[in-house]
A and B are shown apart, each in its own frame.
Chain A
Amino acid sequence: NAGVMQNPRHLVRRRGQEARLRCSPMKGHSHVYWYRQLPEEGLKFMVYLQKENIIDESGMPKERFSAEFPKEGPSILRIQQVVRGDSAAYFCASSPPRREQYFGPGTRLTVT
């Protein structure tokens, strides 16, 4: 039973480019969550999605960031016009309803 998969594991972007991060949840999990981890800090909640619905996006920056979880395919976290401050590790988690979350290995984004 494969775990949560994220790709790419490492992503380098220049300032102003777009970053697209992908997350495939565990089989049977209908809930997906995105977190951001800045260096030497804990994880900060960004967004919670179910298929084709954003349930809670209270942690998402108001501009440049968007997330989707389409009916088919992985969940995507998109960051437009990246800036140096976006450099972080982005973790995806998935779960069945009202159960603990299982985390992927993360995507480490570096903005140069």
Chain B
Amino acid sequence: GDSVTQMEGPVTLSEEAFLTINCTYTATGYPSLFWYVQYPGEGLQLLLKATKADDKGSNKGFEATYRKETTSFHLEKGSVQVSDSAVYFCALTYNFNKFYFGSGTKLNVKP
């Protein structure tokens, strides 16, 4: 079946450090891939997306590239800020009617 696997957290970094959060997926077809972010007490917000292989999604300094050969969509940021502290979810969908989410990775950024 279709599923998303994320690296377990929490991930703790110092401000300005480089961030990578791994995401791999299992899919029977060719899904679209997403990263959502959840701040404490809030709902999920779309961070970035990629709809086909080799596409790169980017937003607010975050990037992720849709790698079909490794079935991965790793999230990266060159220099994290304290305000990036949140839970990050990787997700896939085929038709936008049902999203499959990973279990989330909590990021703590220390000043």
Chain A residues with CB under 8 Å of chain B are 4, 6, 31, 33, 35, 40-45, 48, 55-56, 58-59, 91, 93, 95, 97-106
Total count of chain B residues near the partner, CB < 8 A: 21
Interface contacts (Cβ under 8 Å), in number, total 57
A44 to B89, CA, bound (A): 12
A109 to B89, CA, bound (A): 21
Chain B residues with CB under 8 Å of chain A are 4, 34, 36, 41-46, 49, 89, 95-104
Given A95-B96, A99-B96: A43 touches B34 (CB 8 Å cut-off): no
Q: Which of B95, B97, B101 has the most CB of A within 10 A?
A: B97
A31 to B45, CA, bound (A): 17
Taking a contact as CB atoms under 8 Å apart, the answer to whether B41 and A100 are in contact is no
Given A42-B102, A43-B101: A4 touches B43 (CB 8 Å cut-off): yes
